[in-house]
Structures are given as structure tokens and as C-alpha cells.
Amino acid sequence: MSSISVDIPTFQINQNDFENLVDFISSQEQTLKQFGAIKIELNNDCQLALKKRPKNLLIYPINKQIVKMNKDDLIYNVQKLDHTGEAIEQSSFVSDENTFWSELSSLNNEQRDLNISFISNKSFFCQKVSRMYFDLHLLPSQSILKIAGRKVLSQFVPCIKRAHKAGAIFPLSCTQQNLFSIDYHHEGGNRHWYIIPISQRKQLQTIIHKQNSSICLDHGQILIDPSFLDRNQIRYHRIVQHPNEFVVLSAGTLAQSFTCDASWSESIEFALPSWIEDGHANISTPSCQCYVQQGFLSKPFDDNLFQPDFIQKYIQYTSKNILYDQSGLITYL
């Protein structure tokens, strides 16, 4: 498979960096912006605050499938499941990306289930443990979202993601209000990511809208074959995420992925100062024609929540692992 892409950078961190993960991510922000994402591998001394019970949540795949929009352009549309159609038989294991995209390209009028599930406000991480054990819940409060207060922080909760079969598909999407996000791979088959940095978004939007002006890039409505990106000179980056690895997405990154087998992963959103400096905190929610329910669309934050003096204090003291709440009092994490 020809490509103008390169793999995203991978960093291996020790326990000290792990205990101050937001600081570490911030130190790599230029790389993160350039590629749209980074991958983080853990040293053996890194400790996770994971629950000991097995991953036995009873959940069912969402009622959606993909179909080909145009056989020449290799863009796939996500639709609600149509039981009148024939779903193609999927492989029991997907060994590589060539196999995956080759199977998809052979679709004619067949339909293929996404075979994924999402559960918000559930987590496999334990809360209120020693700081030496990493807890995903803490990322928003360790980021600049801290200064917006508890009411805002309460909106940011982990989301468990389940891939039910080999070849499960996570369509193209972006985080709410272009926030940063981090995804931890708990167990199961490897996950193949395709990352489109925010710098490429306008070019991609222009090309796709020439064919269909109603296509939405943000809300999981399409899947794009990388050969389409190659053909149109859209820069993107690959990554293969294995169990016990993190993928961090930069603000405004577009991402899509598929899995080689059934798997469990978990994600949460957070923010670095650049998210505010680049105007994402107060950007108006664009009108969306993808028919996603309005309740699922993000609302812009109140500008008054992010006062410049508190932002400056956060930036000044973040390297010391000190955060300021809205009253200006120091909170040691």
C-alpha cells in the first residue's frame, strides 16, 4: 500500500514521567501538533490503578454499518443498520491493514457492521488511589480544565470502547470541541490508527465537500481508505497500538481506526494551554448536517471560565505539579 504518511512518534516513559503525565505530554506538544498524535509505551516500573475483575461488561454493538458511497473514491458512509441488507462475513482475524482495506474495497451493495460499543462514565481504572498508580480519571483535573471549576470537570469522564470482532471499525471522528484525548488499550487485538492532523483538515474538507457538501468529518459518519488520502495529497500518519500502550490525540485531530481482533480500550478528554490559546475553548459549535442528535453535539465553554491570570498561573507552576483552582488557592496533586 503506497503512502505519503509516516508513523507517528513513539515515546517510552518511566514512573516519574507517568506520575506527571500531563506535564510529559505538554513537553512533547510541538511533536503532537505536527503529527496529530503520539504513542506512549510504559517502562516496567510504571504502575496502573486497574481493577482486578475481568472485562465482563455486558454490552452490545451499536446499530450501525458501513456502505460504499462511491466505488471509485473509496469513502464509506456510516448508516443505521438496515436488516434488509446482507452483511458480509468478516474474517475471524485481521492480520494487517492490506487485508482489511482489500476486504472493504470488495464491497458492492453489501453492508458491514461496525461491531463497536461505547460506554460513557464507566472505567476499568480504580479511583482515589496512591498517586504512584496511574488513574485515567485524573487527567482532566491535572490539565488546564482544572481552572474551569468542578462543574466543568464533572463533564469529563472515561469512555470504555469495545471492539467485538476482528475488523471492528471506529469511523473518522474528532473530540468534542477539539479537545485533546488519551486512549489506553487494555487488552485484545492490535488497533490500527490513521491520524489526520488539524493542519490538513481544511484541505480534506474542501475535497470531500466537492462530492457531497453534507458529509461530516467530526461525528463518526464516514471511513476513508488511505489510498484516497494518498491520491489527494492529504498528509496523515499511521500507528499500531498494542495492549498496555497509550495514544494521545492533539486538539482538532481527526482519527479513524480498526482492530485486528476483539479488544477493550478506554479514553478521556483533557486540555493543554494551547487549546485555549488556539481559540478552541470559545469556538462556536458549527451547524452539522450529519443528523447527529443535537444533544450529542458539544457546547462552547464560557469564556469567563478561563481567565488569563489563572491560565498564566497554571503555565507557570505546571512544571512543579501545582495547579490553581478558581479561587487562586494552590492545590498540590
Residue 44 · residue 72 · CB < 8 Å: no
Backbone angles phi, psi at 137, to 5 degrees: -55, -30
Residue 163 · residue 189 · CB < 8 Å: yes
Number of C-alpha atoms within 13 angstroms, CB side, residue 186?
23
- pLDDT for 288 equals 62
Confidence of residue 118 (pLDDT cuts 50, 70, 90): very high
**Sequence-separated (6 or more) residues with CB below 8 Å from residue 101:** 1, 225, 226, 227
For domain 6-303, the CATH class is: mainly beta
Cell 470504555 found at? 160
Backbone angles phi, psi at 229, to 5 degrees: -65, -40
CB atoms within 10 A of CB 196: 26
pTM: 0.87
Cell 458480509 found at? 88
More confident residue, 20 or 94: 20
More confident residue, 291 or 81: 81
- pLDDT for 215 equals 85
Confidence of residue 328 (pLDDT cuts 50, 70, 90): very low
Q: What angle do CA 9, 11, 17 make, to 5 degrees?
A: 145
Confidence of residue 94 (pLDDT cuts 50, 70, 90): confident
Show me where the domains of the chain are located: 6-303
